[in-house]
A and B are shown apart, each in its own frame.
Chain A
Amino acid sequence: MADRNLILQEIGSFRKPEYLSKNFHQLEGTAEFNKLAGKATLETLDLFKKSGLENLGVGGEMFRWEMYEALANNIGNLEFYGMVRSFDNRYYRKGSVTGPVVRKHPFHRDELEFLLANTRDTLKLPITGPYTMMDWSFNEYYRDRRELANAYADAINAELRELKGIWDRYRKGEIFEVQIDEPAATTHPSEMDIVVESVNRSFEGISGIEPSIHVCYSIDYAYLYNTMADLKVHGLNLEFANRDPLTVGRGTDNRPGYADLKEYAAMNDTLSKKKFMGLGVTDVHIDDIESVELIQDRIETALKIIGDPALVRINPDCGLRTRSRETGFEKLRNMALATAAVRKEL
């Protein structure tokens, strides 16, 4: 990687090409599926590189349909009774835990094997976190939410151990970057201790990894910042652009979406080992392509607060799967152009 300042990274998902998405569920688990998902992964890695990204994640999660099901479908004693409404006429599958959580099959083995066999680029593996898995499941079996979150953590820990073994076969001695995805992390402020305990447990006993956490659309990131001393991750990858206006201008008066970075910076200053901030600079829920100037303003504003550019990474707010591949590319490219402009000024 050329520059350790303002590393350009992906967060996770990207829109699948139609040849994969239209047959995904019919083919899943077959050799044909792996072939198509592999093809889509290579195309997406190529697209990411062309956009200027430096850390290519897992090539847009072409082997996964959705973050909850990617794990849930491979866990025993998780039953699906039907769809549950999220809002309006949008639904999701929410499983019911009816017995001990057991990892029946690996979650991401095929995906990682494929990537390591096919690219030497910098990667980061996203995996859905135990707290979110717990929060998005009905609990018919465990005594309480903590117990269920920890059961998921044990399953994730087993997965990560296996993935680390695969990683070492291809890239021994290189750090394995793992991003634990916890969109639900701050939805129950009184349970932040469960978030910390279960996330830490997911990584327990695994060396040679760089763990980070991704949280988005939080009611208040302060709940997360307050756990930074206890949360055993090296960095936070967060959504900010969604809460920021589209008009240009620097400073937190113009960039209110980034104002609470002050709380992060203050908390970081108290830590012996500082945590990096993966800064969401492009909104994944709108088709507007934020201009280079706007993204540059966002990065400059954040840098003014955080100070050290080595502590800042640049990413979209979240996975770009809800945008078209063309829009996703444009957003990533402007993100890279803005980052290059900021680097020049450093």
Chain B
Amino acid sequence: MVRLEGFVHGIYPKSEKLRVRIGRWERGSLSSGDLNDLMAEETAIYEGLFEGRALHTDPLFNWYDIFRPIVLISDGMDLGPLTRFEETNTFYRIPQLHGLPVLRIPPDGFHDLPENPPLPLYHSGKDQALFLPGPETLFRFSRNVGKVERQSFLEATCRLYSGIVSKLKPARTFLMERVKIDKIALEAISSITDPAKVVLFTSGNLETSLFANQQKKFYSIIVDPAGPNLKLAMNHSLVPGIKLVDGHNTRMESAGEIMTKAEEISKGMDIDKMLITNSDYLDFLPRKIADQKVNLLAGLGE
């Protein structure tokens, strides 16, 4: 029987207390320093939900969207207007590309940012995974006002990410690609850090040719739930992952249901251990439900 381990990623819904305090900070009645302290406290509460049971990324409480802090700490990009995020009822400030991105502000340590809560970029310890938006996703979700060449942008973004990773030295680096990627993007991603430390979240059906030049296995490739995807993830990562917990619906999955699906999809494959993740970050859900989903994912390995 395949062993399952939960993995929770992305922006996590905030507590009522944090929402209220951010409101005060936006109105200027709470200092950035005090907000930063509260973010650290709330991150510790989030960490407590896991009780050491599952891998996860930072909850990104100070990320207003999955691109904004990265844009704000870099040269070569700025923030465009509020734009609908995919087909959801949520919105993000569309990044505007003017040139190749270069890190301008160190990601660690306290630093005020305009139009976003302050740095540090992450509050979780380095034994967890560091979240980064996939370079292809960043490119495709941006307005390319400077007509920046795609491959150069991907490579420059990955150099920028390398800088963040080498500074913070996380146990894992999680890259969220919300669009289909090609060999060029995969090659760039492989250059960020040792692939054996990378968790790559992919979208859409994967093709064998994608991995033609891939020399080293990733730690995990997380795929949409389909046998052929999982097979490729199995061949090219140490611990394949699959999205089985719905990040867009309050309906609660059960451990039994997840186990059955995981076994169905992995049937006939020689998989010892598999990561089970949320299909999207849980910030699309109320906190109460997100906590229940974390509890479910964290308990899968038991």
For the complex, is A96 an interface residue (Cβ under 8 Å from B)?
yes
Contact of B87 with A187 in the complex, beta carbons under 8 Å: yes
Given contacts A87-B91, A187-B89, contact A81 B64 (CB under 8 A): no
B229 to chain A, nearest CB (A): 22
Contact at A136–B22, with CB atoms within 8 Å? no
Please determine whether A81 and B250 come into contact, CB atoms closer than 8 angstroms.
yes
Q: A81-B289, A89-B22 are in contact. Are A135 and B89 (CB under 8 A)?
A: yes
Interface of A is mostly: loop
Q: Is the CB of B19 within 8 A of A86?
A: no
Report chain A residues within 8 Å CB of B248. Answer: 138
Which one of A86, A140, A219 contacts B89 once the chains associate, using CB atoms below 8 Å? Answer: A86
In the complex, what residue of chain B is closest to A91 when comparing beta carbons? B19
Q: Which of B14, B89, B249 contacts A136 (CB 8 A)?
A: B89
Question: Quick check: A85 and B250 within 8 Å, CB to CB?
Answer: no
The answer, among A87, A139, A184, A188, for a CB contact under 8 Å with B82, is A87
B80 CB within 8 Å of chain A: no
Of all chain B residues, the one with the shortest Cβ separation from A92 is: B89
Nearest chain A CB to B118 CB, angstrom units:
14
A89-B250 contact in complex given A83-B286, A84-B286, C-beta closer than 8 Å: no
Nearest-Cβ distance from residue B185 to partner chain A, whole angstroms = 25
Contact A82 B89 (CB under 8 A): no
B250 touches A138 (CB 8 A): yes
Decide: A138 and B13 in contact? CB cutoff 8 A: no
Q: Which of B19, B84, B250 has the most CB of A within 10 A?
A: B250
Q: Once bound together, how far apart are the Cα atoms of A91 and B91, in whole Å?
A: 11
Which residue of A is nearest B23, CB measured?
A89
Whether, in the assembled complex, A88 has its beta carbon less than 8 Å from a beta carbon of chain B, the answer is: yes
Residues of A within 8 A of B286 (CB): 80-84, 94
Name A95's closest neighbour in chain B (CB-CB).
B250
Query: Number of contacting residues on B, CB 8 A?
Result: 27
A81 touches B288 (CB 8 A): yes
Distance between Cα atoms of A119 and B250 in the complex (Å): 44
- Whether B65 pairs with A87 at a CB distance below 8 angstroms is yes
Would you call B90 and A86 a contact (CB within 8 A)? yes
The answer to whether the Cβ of B211 comes within 8 Å of any Cβ in the partner chain is: no
Contact between B23 and A184, CB atoms less than 8 A apart = no
Does any Cβ of A come within 8 Å of B55's Cβ?
A: no
**Best-buried of B89, B92, B248, B249 by chain A (most CB within 10 Å):** B89
Residue B165 is within 8 A (CB to CB) of chain A in the complex: no
Chain A residues contacting B26 (CB-CB under 8 Å) are 88-89
Kindly list chain A residues whose C-beta atoms are within 8 Å of the C-beta of B90.
85-87
Q: Which chain B residues border A84 with CB–CB below 8 Å?
A: 13, 284-286
Instruction: State the CA gap A89–B63 with chains docked (Å).
Output: 10
| Closest A residue by C-beta to B22 | A89
Residues 150-188 of B at the A interface (beta carbon under 8 Å) = none
Cβ contact within 8 Å between A188 and B13: no
User: CB within 8 Å of A: which residues of B?
Assistant: 13-14, 16, 19, 22-23, 26, 64-65, 82, 84, 87, 89-92, 248-251, 283-289
Show 15 A/B contacts (Cβ-Cβ < 8 Å), sorted by A.
A81-B286, A82-B286, A82-B288, A83-B16, A84-B13, A84-B286, A87-B92, A91-B19, A94-B89, A94-B286, A96-B250, A96-B251, A135-B89, A138-B249, A187-B87
Additional pairs, 9, CB under 8 Å, beyond known A83-B286, A139-B249: A81-B285, A81-B288, A82-B286, A85-B90, A85-B284, A86-B90, A87-B65, A138-B249, A188-B87
